Structure 1
Amino acid sequence: MGTRKYPPELRDRAVRLYRESEPRPVIRRLAEQLNVHPEALRNWIRQAQADHGERDERPSTAMLEENRRLARENAELRRVNDVLRAASAFFASEIDPTRRRS
């Protein structure tokens, strides 16, 4: 079975239904009613619990987004550093003709 991308509104509604129901519904049954994969619903619920400080074993959505932002920034800084290193080597060889270009 391939992965499906569910709309954020469906995720929010599904999690809200689960969290606001007393007693808590069986995830499999709620997933069937909403026509979503039970594991997808289970993951959404776990993530909502992490976001509300109810689970410690998984990072919050804010932390995940910050990690993604930092990874992108880190990759960009590496690219810039590579360009600067190459430019530095080039200009050093221009100033000192005895240095060989690599």
Structure 2
Amino acid sequence: MRFQVASRLVGIAIRRSLGSRGKRNDRVPAVRKYPDDLRSHAVQLYRESDPKPAISRLAEHLGVHREALRTWIREDEATHQDDDQLVTIRLAELRDLRKKNAELKRANEILRAASALFAAELMEVG
């Protein structure tokens, strides 16, 4: 009888701690194995090297796992590729806007000249 009561109490405690989905409610965030400054330093070393070193050799030199370094480099390249594409798009937009601005300035000059001409004709007639 005591065993049944004890096992029932343990079951209730487990269900309460797991919540409604069967997962623990008190999740602890994952601890990063490598500090952020090491990540940024490692990626910077790789980007600034010419010729590019082997990732495994650089990882061994820095004391990090080669797949971790490879992942950091891929993430950085994806971020910089997006930045480069954005810059290219912005430069194209700027070029188009400058072209349109020049056309509008020419049209304004033509309209000013035409209005001055019509004003002069009206003064002669009037």
TM-score under structure 1 length normalisation: 0.48
Bigger radius of gyration among the two:
2
More helix, by proportion: 2
